Amino acid sequence: MEEETTVWQGHPSQILNLHIFLLCGLAAGALIAAGLLFQLQFPVACIVGSAAIIPLFFAFVKWLQIKFQKYELTTERLRLRCGVLSRKTDEVELYRVKDYVLHEPLSLRLFGLGNVALTTTDDANPSVLLRAVSHPETLRDQIRKHVELRREAKRVRITEME
pLDDT tens digits along 102-154: 999 999 999 999 999 999 999 998 999 999 999 999 999 999 999 999 999 88
DSSP letter string, 54-85: HHHHHHHHHHHHHHT-EEEEESSEEEEEE-SS
Using DSSP's 3-state secondary structure scheme, residue 52 falls into coil
Query: Left if phi > 0, otherwise alpha if psi is -120 to 50, otherwise beta: which for 132?
Result: left
User: pLDDT band for position 157 (50/70/90)?
Assistant: confident
- pTM equals 0.84
At residue 159, φ and ψ (nearest 5 deg) are -115, 145
Find, among 143, 152, 155, the residue nearest to 78 by Cα.
143
pLDDT tens digits along 67-104: 999 999 999 999 999 999 999 999 999 999 999 999 99
DSSP letter string, 141-162: HHHHHHHHHHHHHHT-------
For the chain, the distance separating the N- and C-terminal CA atoms, rounded to the nearest angstrom, is 36
